[in-house]
Amino acid sequence: MTIEITGSVQWQAWQDKVMPPVERVSDGLWSIPVPIPRNPLRYVLVYALECREGLVLIDAGWDDDVSWRALTEGVGAIGYDIKDVRAVLVTHHHPDHLGLAGRVREASGAWVALHALDAAVVRTRSAAVGLAEGIRTHLELHGVPADEARRTVEALNVGRSPEAPVADVLLEDGEAIRLPGLDLKVIWTPGHSPGHSCFYQPDRRLLFSGDHVLPRITPQIAVYAQTQGDPLADFLRSLQRLDRFAVDEVLPAHEYRFRGLDKRTAYMARHHAERLAELNEAVGKQPGATAWELSSQLVWSRAWETFDTTSRRFAMAETIAHLVHLENRGEVHSSGGPTVRWHPGGAR
């Protein structure tokens, strides 16, 4: 069973590898594509919703001059000015979603809202000393060769990106966001980030899903140097939590709008089950392998050898997340030392 594509113009733009136009979704609701520089996702879909006081934005886009121009011109195309924005509701702390929220606030006086757990990530990252060294150590701990780890950290440009804006309002699960003429509900959906949140509009049965549920790809579920807990377990529980909401249409932050939330979440859960089985088998065939070694043996959308350093870091972080989940289920265990290695079966 497949989803039903409702954003046909967005879908065609995705197929043609071009930016979609600003689009009126329904009365008082528009999608505004904002480019992401040097990123295969190409753009984030910012949603603008009317309230009686002006506009509310869901996500804001990457903090870049080209992106800022696209956002302000997009707001102008729907008959508003960026100064008319009253609030920015951010699905999660990643820079293609949170980045421009600070500029919007400076231009309009809008308040910026983010889940408390992601706001804590922003604060921690801003205050971190030796972040680059911590990333390099984490990479080497999981088997990345020293030269590769060094090149990866250099490619990240740690410390040279714009500082993420601090939220004015900290969101919590189940919270009602009530503005004159607009009601939304916060649904906490951790996994892709600790505080990832979807926004539900009950009167229209719309789900603004951020990166939690996308129509074509699965969001990255990863373990990095500062990750805590079992993000894959969080993500799978978050997929199930959406079952309690009546949703007619999903408005994601990337790609295109669609119907069939239940079909899509079921597919994503199966995808991770298959990946877990594949990884469990790989550990059984090579006891004592590192996450780096295991990552190179898994099936990806293209050959491992074609990945650049950043793509390999993303892939290994996903592999570690699945290994952590398998370890928590008692199916594999890790051994410490200067390099983390993985073995079949539960801890001995």
Write the pLDDT tens digit of every residue in 55-104: 999 999 999 999 999 999 999 999 999 999 999 999 999 999 999 999 99
Q: Which of 151-160, 177-186, 293-302, 329-338 has the lowest mean pLDDT?
A: 151-160
Q: Is 220 helix (H, G, I), strand (E, B) or coil?
A: coil
Q: Which of 122-136, 139-153, 169-183, 241-255 has the lowest mean pLDDT?
A: 122-136
**Is-above-0.85 flag for pTM?**
yes
Distance between CA atoms of residues 114 and 193, nearest Å = 12
Contact call for residues 235 and 92 (beta carbons, < 8 A): no
For the structural domain made of 4-127+158-261, what CATH number should be given?
Answer: 3.60.15.10
The pLDDT of residue 167: 95
At residue 2 the predicted structure's pLDDT band, cuts being 50, 70 and 90, is confident
197-201/182-188 β-pairing: antiparallel
Over residues 23-27, the mean pLDDT reads 97
The region, left, alpha or beta by phi > 0 then psi within -120 to 50, assigned to residue 88 is: beta
What are the residue ranges spanned by the domains of the chain? 4-127+158-261
Strand partners, 341: 335
Q: Is 16 helix (H, G, I), strand (E, B) or coil?
A: helix
The tokens for 266 are: 């079921």
Tens digit of each residue's pLDDT (9 = 90 or more) over 201-214: 999 999 999 999 99
If you search the block for the tokens 């490619």, which residue do you land on? 155
Q: Half-sphere exposure of 216 toward its Cβ, with a 13 Å CA cutoff?
A: 13
Q: Is 177 helix (H, G, I), strand (E, B) or coil?
A: strand
Element (H, E) at 337: none
- Interhelix angle 131-141/146-156, nearest 10 degrees: 140
DSSP one-letter code for 306: G
The pLDDT of residue 161: 64
Give me the percent of the chain exceeding a pLDDT of 70: 96
Distance between CA atoms of residues 216 and 46, nearest Å = 18
Contact call for residues 75 and 68 (beta carbons, < 8 A): no
At residue 263 the predicted structure's pLDDT band, cuts being 50, 70 and 90, is very high
